[in-house]
Structure 1
Amino acid sequence: MGASTIRSIIYTTCHAIWEGLSESELPQLTEQDFKAVADGLKKTWNYPHVLGVIDGKHIKIECPPKSGSTYHNYKQTFSIVLQAVCDSESNFIAIDVGDYGRHSDGGIFKNSSFGRALLSNNFPIPPAEDLCGQGVLPFVFLRDEAYPIMRNLLRPFPRRGLDNVQRIYNYRHSRARRTIECAFGMMSAKWSVLKTTLHMLPENATKVVLACCVLHNFVRRREKPDNEPANDDTIDFSNQQERAADTNEPAVPTHHGRPCQ
């Protein structure tokens, strides 16, 4: 077969994978589903009241014809953006693919269906509940500094001038956000086409990325979790605070890296 025929078959197959698996692997979540996600994040990372972790990933593409700087990103490459929300098992629960690489995470969030639903309060978020006797607090999604400040989006403290309690919180926040970074890393490792530059038009690249996302969930939910990241909840933070007070050292290492990419 000719190259154009093979190319057409690939795009048609990716579209069919998305159409066939999207309803089962990325269903519309209800309030009870989000409570189950929150229970999973609390059990895995000891972080309560969290409905998911949100972040974006740039998918490199060849510069489309006559696109100018539309797809040019801060990494000095051309890309479309995958914005995703994941649960404690690094499975995607909401995705948005295809926005311009030059847009920021905050701008992509506001234009995505997930962001519009959250901003307009048309999202099945569970009502605020009491948190460990500390008062009634809302359920939130964890994010980094690039996303807007909202009632249901929680960011870490700014990195300068932190006390030990704030450093411990940032550590916990960053640790819980590993789930989305690991999701991107595992998907790229399994579907290695995402590690390269996609030599295709943005609309075709979107089909490939959508297929990879639903296949990621399909495989993750059926494979044995032999190589799951270790849960380091055995850290005694009270002792670390005491040691930090005695030595004037940080209670825990703060990191904002991407350990699984």
Structure 2
Amino acid sequence: MLPLLERKLGPRFIQLKKSEQKLSKRKQHFYKKYGIPGVIGCIDGTNIKIMRPGNAEQVYFNRLLRLGSEEARAFLQEEYDSGSRANWLRGDSGYPLEPFLLTPYRNATAMSNQNTFNLRHASARNVIERTFGVFKSRFRLLQEILLYNPLKVTCIINVCCVLHNLCREQNDQEFRVVGVNERREKLALYQILISLNQLHEFGIA
């Protein structure tokens, strides 16, 4: 069930490319609220606990590194090279400065323009932190140790992202998935799709 949901719904509900209308709306929001022009979103990371794999376990150590998605970076670089020079993501100081990624000034002095920018930049960070908070609250299994192999954990996370975005589209603020029991988990995911009348529309049924 999970691979099917990931394959069928992932391309629709997890997208990097957005319409100009959506990008314009995001820019207006960030500028109005934080005073930084051109921002279309924020980037950060969150930890998901997994069972230690039997093979190559050293690859999965949590080392507080910021390793971004190469696919996402390649897409943003391609957009920039194609002439998109007025769209930026906002990232904290753990990320390197990129043509498409705004990061804080280092060692900004008090009362300087750089410090003012950093304060506004830090305020905008709450957006991504709140998003992770809502996401993990909705799918509380992500707050526990997932006792599956890394590939299945990846699939679970992707499907949770799909359903999170689907709920946002349907303005459903109440949907929750609690616990890590696989049978209950699959049943809950299946029921939310049925309740939103999406199975036939997405070609699953």
TM range (shorter): 0.7 to 0.9
Aligned length: 173
Q: Does 1:186 align with 2:174?
A: no
Q: For the residues of structure 1 that align with 2:28 and 2:10, how far apart are their CA atoms? A: 24
Q: For the residues of structure 1 that align with 2:47 and 2:151, how far apart are their CA atoms? A: 15
Q: How does 1:1-261 map to 2 (within 5 A)?
A: 13-27=1-15, 29-30=17-18, 32=20, 33-74=22-63, 104-105=65-66, 108-109=67-68, 112-119=70-77, 121-122=78-79, 127-128=84-85, 138-158=86-106, 161-223=109-171
- State the shift of 1:42 in Å: 2.6
Gaps of 5+ in 2: 175-205
**Which protein is richer in strand relative to its size?**
1
Q: For the residues of structure 1 that align with 2:17 and 2:143, how far apart are their CA atoms? A: 30
Residue deviations 1:143-185, cap 9 Å, x none? 0112122122111122564335333322211111211111111
- Which has the bigger relative contact order, CA under 8 A and spacing at least 6? 2
- State the shift of 1:200 in Å: 0.8
Q: For the structure 1 residues 187 and 159, does the alpha-carbon distance in structure 2 shift closer, same or farther, using more than 3 Å as the test?
A: farther
Rg larger in structure:
1
Q: Secondary structure at the match of 1:141?
A: strand
Q: For the residues of structure 2 that align with 1:59 and 1:35, how far apart are their CA atoms? A: 32
Q: For the residues of structure 2 that align with 1:46 and 1:161, how far apart are their CA atoms? A: 20
Q: Percent identity?
A: 24
TM-score (norm. length: structure 1): 0.58
Q: For the structure 1 residues 225 and 42, does the alpha-carbon distance in structure 2 shift closer, same or farther, using more than 3 Å as the test?
A: farther
TM-score (norm. length: structure 2): 0.72
